């Protein structure tokens, strides 16, 4: 396979997702775009006498591309599968595999969430359908220009299945001018927000021009869905009852449930307009003030006109903006910076590179997967990272990617990879399905059914209130002893049962369909591979957006989603404390974590002890002397004379000497046996220590590969002293040591 030929299998066959969008583009032409990007980078380096960085090694590339495409470090299994692959184009194959994976959806959603300031609880409503719509668009690989058009032109019921794009306007309900300012910043890299109130002090935009552009979308409102309003109009209950009002609001009948468009192409001149070019009380017609001049003709819908103009391949700002944003995601720095502030006087230092990126984006027809596959396979991306980025006021010529710190989401998701199996597959709680079902059921209700249902819900609320008051009175009277009162437990049990029944979202579906609709993501299978792990151990994209204050993600700089891309990469004391006392200690270093299980698997099971040889039994004492036989009658008797004292003394001395010799021999034998046993024990102990050290080395190597994607160096092994890491606690300390190097927090 010749260099670059990887594009063909990606375009022609990657899950059938990219081919339909680029079928008219030949493989040779696409090869030309990838090559043009590298040529433009290399030309800039030559012009400034800068040597490109060497190509990075496979292990570093694997870790980098996992973090950049799917937002987490690779597992050891994933890393080994790549490193042991013999294919010459395994880097390209890995890029394709990652771009088509669920992990890429999680990471791409985080990018969109920061751009669009996506919140689960948005302006008093539920943002889950909006989040659900964005994730589904990413899964389908919907082209970027199509997504932008559908967001800009969204209208209708907020909770209608498949209509989550309406969240683009619900997010800024009541603030149409702020919404438009965000539109230009996200999609056109143009900060016109200042011109909403006055002429821009640092750019050429006037307040008049801002109002001309905002007139395309400024008449969009968030209000009552006509279909739902019809149901409410037929309601014959007591609307002044506070409980009735609460139930109606829970049902989504409070009026903020649809995006509506008056289809007007004008805005009234603001009462505080301070410049002489417009008269107060007049109107301002929609008209583009950058690029091709476009007005709204009679019969045309203003937002459709604007969306078509904005997303046109001939609109250089739109193409340039998205191409530069993705280049920065890959390389750490955009061709122009800031990526959302392209002014009239902006000088792009590398116009050839910018053109090559724009040409590639147009060639793939805004297919972000195809475009990213080109970027990540370039020589420029696969070079070693530059530790030092550009100095203030200086340009950057991309000798390699810039060393980058992980985002809060990348840190969380990478730690999660060390804790739970298959983190990309575990889903968080999402209430979209409940909202869709409730909306469908609501529209299917008749007036009488609605009255009956509201009455049931009101009665339920009143019974709950009575029980809550009863329990509160008991607590007030008896304090902590209230739980011992005979009336407490029955009241609490009844309240728990009513709480389970409460809520219009659940109750409506239960009444009409016989069962409530559970939120997506709740694991019902008791044999789930995630059994026992806390519910909140899911990818950052599956947690509430944004995470609540005090959460790991917020401590590490996650955006609050109030402003566009306002996350932080700055370090802080709270981050150190969170690492010391938070997720690492609470989950990563627990025996159930993926990492600790893998480390434990390296330790062989204990062997049964070899039974000691039975000691040699002591010699039996000498047999008692047999008494001499009595002589037969008449036999001759030989008389033996009694030994003399000298002979007896000599015999005793000889016996004593023999005993001393025997004792000495026994002592020597015992000493020799003890020495032999000690030497054997020392050999066994040494072998055990060597085996334990070898296991510790394997465990340390696994820690490094798990966290950093590489084996430890000889110096790192010497510092960690594997011979002292022979207990679980010592291995846990080694994990801490690797975290403390700081390398884990960076994309090299």
- pLDDT in the model for residue 27: 57
Measured on CA atoms in the order 129, 408, 403, 191, is the torsion positive or negative?
A: positive
**What percent of the chain clears pLDDT 70, i.e. is strictly above it?**
86
| pLDDT tops 70 at residue 525 | no
| pLDDT tops 70 at residue 515 | no
Distance CA(569)–CA(209), nearest Å, equals 35
Estimate to the nearest angstrom the gap between the alpha carbon of 454 and the chain centroid.
41
pLDDT averaged over every residue in the chain: 86
pLDDT level of residue 254 (50, 70, 90 thresholds): low
CB 105 within 8 A of CB 17: no
| Short-list 397, 383, 357, CA closest to 43 | 397
Distance CA(371)–CA(378), nearest Å, equals 11
CB 303 within 8 A of CB 153: yes
The verdict on whether omega for the bond into residue 561 sits within 30 degrees of 0, i.e. cis, is no
Q: For residues 332-336, give the mean pLDDT.
A: 95
| Short-list 451, 519, 494, CA closest to 247 | 451
Q: What are the backbone angles phi and psi of residue 505, rounded to the nearest 5°?
A: -60, -45
203-207, 317-321, 357-361, 739-743, range with the lowest pLDDT: 739-743
Give the CA distances from residue 611 to residues 225, 605, 674, in Å, rounded to whole numbers and listed in that order: 83, 18, 17
| Short-list 326, 313, 390, 384, CA closest to 354 | 326
**Residue 705 token pair:** 């590969």
26-30, 159-163, 317-321, 611-615, range with the lowest pLDDT: 611-615
CB 403 within 8 A of CB 746: yes
Distance CA(96)–CA(98), nearest Å, equals 6
Distance CA(384)–CA(58), nearest Å, equals 11
Query: What are 60-93's pLDDT values in tens digits?
Result: 999 999 999 999 999 999 999 999 987 888 999 9
Distance CA(570)–CA(43), nearest Å, equals 34
Element (H, E) at 353: helix 351-363
Burial class (CB in 10 A: 0-12, 13-18, 19+), 419: buried
**Residue 628 token pair:** 């001499």
| pLDDT tops 80 at residue 461 | yes
| pLDDT tops 50 at residue 651 | yes
CB 492 within 8 A of CB 464: no
Q: What are the backbone angles phi and psi of residue 553, rounded to the nearest 5°?
A: -60, -45
Query: What are 377-403's pLDDT values in tens digits?
Result: 999 999 999 998 888 878 899 999 999
The b/e string for 167-185 (b: 16+ C-beta within 10 A; e otherwise) is bbbbbbbeebbebbbbbbb
Query: What are 104-113's pLDDT values in tens digits?
Result: 999 999 999 9
- pLDDT in the model for residue 7: 37
Estimate to the nearest angstrom the gap between the alpha carbon of 543 and the chain centroid.
9
- 3-class DSSP state for residue 148? helix
Helices (H), 377-503: 408-417, 432-443, 447-478, 488-501
The total of other beta-carbon atoms located within 10 Å of residue 43's CB is 14
The verdict on whether omega for the bond into residue 327 sits within 30 degrees of 0, i.e. cis, is no
**Residue 621 token pair:** 């004492």
Burial class (CB in 10 A: 0-12, 13-18, 19+), 247: buried
11-15, 53-57, 326-330, 661-665, range with the lowest pLDDT: 11-15
- pLDDT in the model for residue 9: 36
Measured on CA atoms in the order 661, 666, 671, 675, is the torsion positive or negative?
A: positive
- 3-class DSSP state for residue 365? coil
- pLDDT in the model for residue 14: 33
- 3-class DSSP state for residue 687? helix
- 3-class DSSP state for residue 50? coil
Q: For residues 139-152, give the mean pLDDT.
A: 97
Helices (H), 175-301: 176-188, 207-214, 226-233, 242-250
**Residue 585 token pair:** 């200690």
Distance CA(74)–CA(66), nearest Å, equals 6
Task: Give the domain ranges of the chain.
Answer: 7-105+317-327+342-405, 142-245+252-310
pTM of the model: 0.85
Q: Write down how long the chain is.
A: 748
The total of other beta-carbon atoms located within 10 Å of residue 152's CB is 23
Query: What are 475-489's pLDDT values in tens digits?
Result: 988 888 888 888 889
Give the CA distances from residue 741 to residues 311, 486, 736, 746, in Å, rounded to whole numbers and listed in that order: 45, 58, 9, 11
């Amino acid at each position: 396979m010749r260099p670059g030929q990887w594009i063909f299998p990606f375009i022609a066959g990657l899950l059938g997702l990219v081919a339909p969008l680029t079928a008219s583009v030949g493989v040779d032409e696409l090869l030309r775009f990838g090559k043009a990007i590298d040529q433009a980078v290399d030309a800039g380096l030559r012009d400034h006498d800068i040597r490109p960085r060497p190509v990075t090694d496979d292990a570093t590339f694997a870790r980098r591309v996992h973090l950049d495409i799917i937002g987490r470090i690779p597992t050891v299994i994933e890393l080994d599968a790549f490193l042991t692959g013999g294919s010459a184009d395994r880097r390209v194959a890995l890029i394709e595999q990652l771009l088509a994976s669920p992990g890429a959806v999680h990471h791409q959603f985080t990018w969109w969430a920061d751009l669009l300031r996506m919140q689960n609880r948005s302006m008093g409503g539920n943002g889950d359908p909006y989040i659900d719509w964005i994730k589904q668009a990413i899964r389908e690989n919907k082209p970027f220009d199509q997504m932008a058009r559908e967001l800009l032109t969204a209208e209708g019921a907020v909770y209608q299945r498949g209509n989550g794009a309406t969240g683009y306007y619900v997010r800024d309900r009541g603030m149409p001018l702020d919404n438009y300012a965000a539109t230009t910043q996200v999609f056109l890299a143009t900060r016109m927000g200042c011109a909403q109130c006055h002429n821009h002090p640092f750019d050429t935009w006037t307040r008049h021009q801002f109002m001309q552009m905002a007139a395309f979308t400024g008449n969009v409102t968030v209000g009552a869905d006509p279909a739902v309003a019809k149901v409410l109009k037929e309601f014959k209950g007591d609307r002044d009852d506070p409980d009735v009002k609460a139930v109606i609001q829970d049902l989504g009948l409070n009026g903020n449930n649809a995006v509506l468009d008056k289809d007007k192409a004008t805005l009234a001149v603001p009462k505080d307009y301070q410049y002489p070019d417009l008269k107060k009380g007049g109107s301002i017609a929609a008209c583009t003030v950058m690029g091709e001049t476009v007005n709204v003709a009679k019969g045309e819908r203003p937002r459709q006109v604007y969306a078509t103009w904005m997303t046109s391949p001939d609109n250089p700002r739109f193409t340039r903006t998205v191409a530069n944003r993705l280049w920065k995601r890959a390389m750490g720095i955009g061709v122009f910076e800031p990526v959302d502030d392209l002014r009239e006087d902006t000088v792009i230092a590398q116009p050839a590179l910018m053109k090559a990126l724009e040409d590639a984006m147009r060639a793939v027809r805004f297919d972000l997967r195809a475009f990213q596959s080109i970027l990540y396979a370039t020589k420029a991306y696969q070079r070693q990272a530059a530790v030092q980025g550009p100095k203030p006021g200086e340009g950057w010529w991309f000798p390699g990617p810039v060393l980058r710190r992980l985002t809060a989401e990348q840190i969380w998701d990478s730690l999660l990879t060390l804790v739970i199996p298959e983190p990309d597959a575990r889903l968080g709680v999402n209430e979209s399905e409940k909202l869709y079902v409730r909306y469908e059921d609501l529209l299917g209700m008749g007036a009488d059914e609605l009255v009956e249902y509201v009455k049931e819900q009101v009665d339920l609320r009143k019974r709950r209130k009575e029980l809550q008051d009863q329990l509160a009175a008991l607590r007030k009277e008896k304090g902590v002893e209230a739980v011992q009162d005979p009336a407490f437990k029955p009241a609490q049990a009844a309240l728990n049962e009513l709480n389970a029944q409460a809520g219009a979202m659940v109750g409506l579906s239960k009444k009409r369909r016989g069962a409530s609709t559970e939120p997506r993501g709740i694991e019902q299978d008791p044999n789930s591979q995630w059994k026992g792990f806390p519910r909140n151990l899911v990818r950052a994209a599956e947690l509430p957006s944004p995470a609540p204050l005090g959460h790991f993600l917020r401590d590490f700089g996650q955006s609050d989603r109030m402003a566009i891309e306002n996350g932080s990469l700055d370090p802080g004391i709270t981050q150190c404390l969170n690492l010391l006392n938070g997720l690492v200690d609470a989950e990563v270093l627990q025996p159930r974590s993926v990492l600790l299980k893998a480390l434990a698997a390296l330790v062989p099971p204990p062997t049964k002890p070899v039974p000691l040889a039975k000691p040699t039994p002591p010699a039996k004492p000498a047999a008692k002397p047999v008494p001499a036989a009595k002589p037969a009658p008449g036999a001759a008797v030989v008389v033996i004379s009694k030994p003399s004292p000298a002979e007896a003394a000599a015999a005793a001395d000889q016996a004593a000497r023999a005993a001393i010799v025997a004792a000495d021999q026994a002592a020597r034998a015992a000493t020799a046996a003890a020495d032999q046993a000690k030497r054997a024990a020392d050999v066994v102990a040494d072998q055990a220590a060597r085996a334990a050290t070898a296991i510790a080395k394997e465990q340390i190597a696994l820690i490094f590969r798990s966290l950093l994607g590489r084996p430890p160096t000889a110096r790192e092994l010497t510092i960690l002293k594997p011979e002292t890491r022979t207990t679980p606690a010592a291995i846990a300390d080694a994990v801490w040591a690797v975290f403390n190097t700081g390398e884990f927090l960076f994309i090299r």
